[in-house]
Amino acid sequence: MPSIKSLTPALSSIVLFLFGSIAACSVSAQTVPEDQWRTLNRAVIDQHIMPRYQNLAEKSALLEQQTERFCHTPDRANLNSARASFKAALKSWQGVQHIQFGPVTLLMRNYSLQYWPDKKNTGGRQLKAALKLENPVFDEEFFRSASVSLKGFPALERLLFGKTVSVRENKLACSLATAIARNIHTMSRSIREEWKEEARQIELAGKPHDGAAYQVYETPSEAATELMKSLVEPVEAIRDNKILRPLSKTIEKSRWSKSESWRSGQSIENIRQNLAALHELYSGTSPVSVKALLEAAGDKSNAQAIEEQFRLIRNEIDTASPVTGPTLTEAGYRTLSHIARQLKILDKRLALAMQTLNIRLGFNSRDGD
């Protein structure tokens, strides 16, 4: 290999730059010890993931009970109870929606729980077709072959809150609503139970083994990368899909009916739950948090800026009025547009944090949504 001196000045600069970059990466790679990643993994699983899946399992069990009770006695009081339990279960799902790895991805449960955005109205067409079936049995066999758009919260929301089908008068629609609620509970309960094995695999990362046992993660930092994806990737998805898509370019072109859970009036609440969950994942665990690791890595400024950005966005969301119809007020449009801009800032700061922590997120699983 020729010496640096024998190269042209331009090429010498490139080589020196590459050597400098490699050296910088080597230093940053040692910033967070593997034992610290292991401690963070434990904290996130025990304090963040497991409690949230437990909450989803509990709230979805109540949803199943209340929906079944309503269909047995379809009066206004029971309908209101079923709707309230739907909102509570949806809220619990939104609080763990950012976890897009592990058991929730098995059999596409993440899409089955909530197929959204549904840009081609697949759910509407599938629901209409299901209600035209002759003597259908909405059991496990039905859901094994059914479209993902028919298995979760969006389909149930159409039945409980939509104006096209009256579950109070249509026994078949009520039977399907009960079956979907049961399916949501079944999936939620299974995810919670299967996370025990996922947690075990994450704990095994980097530990000696006999070579025969399969290990999902080679190192604690590899396992932590999935958690960091769960922190960073949703920010862009929330901004693009949950806010900018229904807002469109102008208020005249905005269509709030493109927002998530608009029929039940939960669009803003969903975003609130999403951001609260991400904020907790960032700085709400102990004895180690992502924020603490970032500070220990020498980037206290960005660590604090991210914390403040989460709080700023939360305050903005709290000032946003719930949208109860398909259209937005000018004030609502301005507030949501500003939140979208603040989410862009948060996204960039989190990306910088991942560089500091030497976390390479790689392919964005949400690309193409």
Task: Determine the pLDDT at residue 323.
Answer: 86
Which residues in 168-200 are b (16+ Cβ under 10 Å) and which e? eeeebbbbbbbbbbbbbbbbbbbbbebbeebbe
* Surface-to-core class of residue 204, CB atoms within 10 Å of its CB (0-12 exposed, 13-18 middle, 19+ buried): middle
> What's this model's pTM, rounded to 2 decimal places?
0.90
Answer whether 28's CB lies under 8 Å from 358's CB.
Answer: yes
Measured CA to CA, the distance from residue 3 to residue 35 in angstroms comes to 40
Task: Determine the pLDDT at residue 188.
Answer: 99
The amino acid occupying position 256 is W
The domain spans of the chain are 39-204, 217-356
Q: How far is residue 231 CA from its own chain's centroid?
A: 9
Measured CA to CA, the distance from residue 18 to residue 20 in angstroms comes to 5
Q: Per-residue DSSP letters for 46-71?
A: IIIIHHHHHHHHHHHHHHHHHHHHHH
Task: Determine the pLDDT at residue 163.
Answer: 87
Task: Determine the pLDDT at residue 209.
Answer: 74
Task: Determine the pLDDT at residue 366.
Answer: 53
Answer whether 61's CB lies under 8 Å from 241's CB.
Answer: no
Alpha-carbon distances of 343 from 170, 184, 292, 347, rounded to whole Å: 43, 30, 21, 6
* Nearest to 251, CA basis, from 322, 325, 327: 327
Helix 76-94 vs helix 267-283: crossing angle, to nearest 10: 30
Two tokens, residue 112: 């089955």
Measured CA to CA, the distance from residue 191 to residue 136 in angstroms comes to 28
* Nearest to 328, CA basis, from 243, 236, 238: 243
Task: Determine the pLDDT at residue 321.
Answer: 83
* Residue position matching structure tokens 């025969």: 212
Report whether CATH 1.20.1420.20 matches the domain 39-204.
yes
pLDDT in tens, the chain (369 residues): 444 344 444 444 443 443 344 334 433 444 799 999 999 999 999 999 999 999 999 999 999 999 999 999 999 999 999 999 999 999 999 999 999 999 999 999 999 999 999 999 999 999 999 999 999 999 999 999 999 999 999 999 999 999 877 788 899 999 999 999 999 999 999 999 999 999 999 999 998 876 656 789 999 999 999 999 999 999 999 999 999 999 999 999 999 999 999 999 999 999 999 999 999 999 999 999 999 999 999 999 999 999 999 999 999 999 998 887 788 999 999 999 999 999 999 999 999 999 999 999 986 655 544
The CA R_g of the chain, rounded to the nearest whole Å, is 24
Q: Cα dihedral angle (107, 109, 37, 299), rounded to 10 degrees? A: 130
Give the other-Cβ count within 10 Å of 154's Cβ: 25
Measured CA to CA, the distance from residue 161 to residue 167 in angstroms comes to 9
- H helices of the chain, where? 9-29, 34-44, 50-72, 76-94, 109-113, 122-130, 140-145, 153-161, 171-204, 220-237, 245-247, 267-283, 290-296, 300-319, 330-356
Helix 50-72 vs helix 76-94: crossing angle, to nearest 10: 160
Measured CA to CA, the distance from residue 199 to residue 155 in angstroms comes to 31
Q: Per-residue DSSP letters for 274-333?
A: HHHHHHHHHH--SS--HHHHHHHTT-HHHHHHHHHHHHHHHHHHHHSPPP-SSS--HHHH
